[in-house]
Amino acid sequence: MDELDTFAHVYEFVRSVPPGKVVTYGQVAGEIFAVRLSARDVGAAMAVAPKDVPWQRVVGANGYLPIAKRNPDLCLLQRRLLEAEGVAFLNDTSPRVDMRKSQWLPAGELQGSLFDATESAE
């Protein structure tokens, strides 16, 4: 399977994320069973995503926007796009999405956020 076929699986999943919700790179990698992917592989796919893929809905672990390392202007654009969809951030200046409010879990998974489980285990 070539890279374009692999990336097609990523794009199909990301297109299924509803507006106002986000997923992490690792979450995308874990949801795709047709190919073996890492979070970095998902990042590589998102860096060259077609225009119809809502790239802004994929964020780093703990809700961070890792695109800020590459380009602060793209980070600002990602935040604006997410806020326009209703995605909550931890505060006005934080580069972190409030994952408890905004993380999407596909049907069939536990409802809520992955972060709820870690908090209750402490």
Q: So where are the chain's domains?
A: 3-121
Calpha distance 93→89 (Å, rounded): 9
Q: Is 119 exposed, middle or buried (0-12, 13-18, 19+ CB in 10 A)?
A: exposed
Across the chain, mean pLDDT equals 87
User: Could you say which of 1.10.10.10, 2.160.20.70, 3.40.50.720, 3.40.50.300 is the CATH number of the domain covering 3-121?
Assistant: 1.10.10.10
CA-atom Rg of the chain in angstroms: 14
pLDDT digits (tens, 9 = 90+) for 50-77: 999 999 999 999 999 999 888 999 999 9
Calpha distance 58→15 (Å, rounded): 10
Instruction: Answer for the pair 58, 46: CB distance below 8 angstroms, yes or no.
Output: yes
- In 3D, which of 42, 20, 23, 8 has the Cα closest to residue 105? 23
Q: Is the pLDDT of residue 99 over 50?
A: yes
Q: Is the pLDDT of residue 84 over 90?
A: yes
Element at 41 (helix H, strand E): helix 39-47
Percent of the chain with pLDDT over 90: 70
